[in-house]
Amino acid sequence: MIKLKIKKARREFNINPDLLLITGDGWSAIEDIKGFNEYELDYDIMAIGRSINLHNGHPVDHWANVDADCSVNWAENLPKVARDGNMPIRHTLGDCRGFDVDWDIDGEIPWDISEIMWHGSTALFAVLAAFTMGYQKLVLAGVPLDSKGHWYWDENTQPQYPDPPWSYQTYQAWFEFAETPEAKQVRSMSGYTRTLLGEPTQKWLSRA
């Protein structure tokens, strides 16, 4: 399994190690977050992309995007929704302006880094970074890993083709992760990732 290590951290951060909610921009995000909140738990949040706007006053502790070169302006202008009144801790792969924590792949890279930085989606990056930071259990919301679109699209903005166009390498990376011991500590609220990893239950969430 690919593992990550912190290359450089420009801000200090504390975590609630018991539970992290990772939210993505898949079509299911709004209902997934609503369903997860019915458990009434204490948890940290790592948001991906626009899902930072879906948490209705709950602090967002982290924000992640592996496409750093395409999201510098975005990262530099996030809403100040962290617990301390600042922006969330911003995570990416490699060294890029606008981010607080630069991550690197720990060990041999099994693909040509000159062609692509990462396989597996920002959500898988967030999962691996979360384990390195010390989180014990992770729940995915809005990460269906399908091509049915994003929660912020409507009939006027929905394209006429499947999107996002996930590659087979992305699915392969998730399949490989699902075979690891760490995968037992991850659940998903919807989509293929729920099929692959299982959904969170009260019993699983309450188990130490």
pLDDT of residue 67: 77
Q: How confident is the model at residue 200 (pLDDT cuts 50, 70, 90)?
A: very high
Instruction: Tell me if 81 sits within 8 A of 55, measured CB to CB.
Output: yes
Stronger pLDDT, 2 or 16, i.e. the higher one: 16
**Structure pTM?**
0.91
pLDDT digits (tens, 9 = 90+) for 34-90: 999 999 999 999 999 999 999 999 999 999 998 766 788 889 999 999 999 999 999
Q: How confident is the model at residue 157 (pLDDT cuts 50, 70, 90)?
A: low
Per-residue pLDDT averaged across 187-199, rounded? 97
- The rounded distance, in Å, linking the Cα atoms of 104 and 82 is 24
2: Cβ–Cβ under 8 A, 6 or more apart, which residues? Answer: 105, 106, 107, 110, 120, 128, 173
pLDDT of residue 22: 98
The whole domain housing 64 covers: 4-206
| Number of structural domains the chain divides into | 1
Stronger pLDDT, 7 or 139, i.e. the higher one: 139
Kindly write down the DSSP assignment for every residue of 32-79, as one continuous string.
HHHHHHTT----EEEEEGGGGGGSTT----EEE-S-GGG-HHHHHT--
Q: Which two tokens stand for residue 167?
A: 């590659």
pLDDT of residue 205: 94
Stronger pLDDT, 137 or 113, i.e. the higher one: 137
Give me the residues paired with residue 23 across strands.
47, 141
Q: Using a pLDDT cut of 70, give the percent of the chain over it.
A: 85
Kindly write down the DSSP assignment for every residue of 140-179, as one continuous string.
EES---SSB-BTT--TTT--SS-BS---HHHHHHHHHHHT
203: Cβ–Cβ under 8 A, 6 or more apart, which residues? Answer: none
pLDDT digits (tens, 9 = 90+) for 79-124: 999 999 999 999 998 888 899 999 988 766 555 555 455 556 889 9
Per-residue pLDDT averaged across 27-37, rounded? 97
If you average pLDDT over every residue of the chain, what do you get?
Answer: 87
> 125: left (phi > 0), else alpha (psi -120 to 50), else beta?
alpha
DSSP-derived 3-state class of residue 25: coil
pLDDT of residue 29: 97
